Amino acid sequence: MKICFSYSIDENYSDYLTNSLNSLLKNAPNVCANVDLIDFKIQENNFPKNDKIKYNYINPNLPTDKITIKNKGCSVLKERTVNLTGAYANLRKVYNIYNLLNSGEYDVIVNMDADNLILRNVEEYISRLPLGYDIHIKYTVGELNEADTARRKNNFRHFNLSDIELEPFFHEGCTVIKNTENSRKFFKVVSENIFNKLVWYGDSYWISYAYKKMKDEIKINCLPFDFVIYDLDEQNAKTAYVCSGYGYNKYKSLYKHLTQTF
């Protein structure tokens, strides 16, 4: 089984990417990575060099506008301002999934955030996921309260809400995609639309859009909670395979300690 992680960053996430790739090489050395570097002005950097990691320099010639992102659940940073290169990078790693699937080189593609740390051998975990599914993704159904629904609608304010369903609520930051005919069709829909609007939550919207179009065909498994840590502590750091940098995690001393072990 050949696995490839799909990464994409602008320069603001350089240090996170370095830590993530170092953790990948240490704990899952057989896994490949495809990395898009968006609008990097200096091509000399400290990223790890390895024949399993492919770097692509992408220059989309974006305007210098900035957008403000609300951080749900993070008491340290309620909102942050990002360049459009950051929004583009967030979409690019999902856009690339279709091309990576279609290349025929890989059996599995994993959508990977640059601030995720690989704590254990993900290859071993992925090999144990149940068969017969096209996509393994964390999602929630029936748990959105009124405030969550309002926030989600606000995230998608640039789009037509009638083209999607608000639930299931997909958490696409670490998605495992098997290379099947249905998954290729699914991510073809995503890739054809994802750059229609350059906004931060475009990946979430177009995944929901593709799901509504293909829900009678696509087979989706809810990724178990022991794969990715979204609330890092000493106990779950010993058993989980991936530590998300989402929200408060990256500000915890334990997260910083883990980066020093790679």
Domains in the chain, CATH or no CATH each:
3-226 (3.90.550.10)
Kind plus residue range of the DSSP H or E element containing 222: strand 220-222
Average pLDDT for residues 3-12, to the nearest whole number? 95
Kindly state the tokens that stand for 191: 């890739």
Give the residue from 240, 241, 243 showing the smallest Cα distance to 257.
243
Query: What pLDDT shows up at residue 239?
Result: 92
Assign 76 a pLDDT band (cuts: 50, 70, 90): very low
Question: Given this model, what pLDDT does residue 157 score?
Answer: 92
Contact at 8 Å (CB) between 7 and 34? yes
pLDDT at 179 over 90: yes
Average pLDDT of 222-236?
A: 91
Residue pair 223/176 in contact (Cβ under 8 Å)? The answer is yes
Whether the per-residue pLDDT at 74 is higher than 60: the answer is: no
Whether residue 203 has pLDDT greater than 60: yes
Q: Residue 9 has what DSSP assignment?
A: E
From the list 100, 104, 183, 71, the residue with the least C-alpha distance to 137 is: 183
Q: What is the arithmetic mean of pLDDT over 151-157? A: 89
Provide the b/e sequence for 168-205 (b: ≥16 CB within 10 Å): bbbbbbbbbbbbbebbebbbbbbbebbeeebbbbbbbb
Residues 6+ apart with CB under 8 A from 24: 5, 31, 33, 118
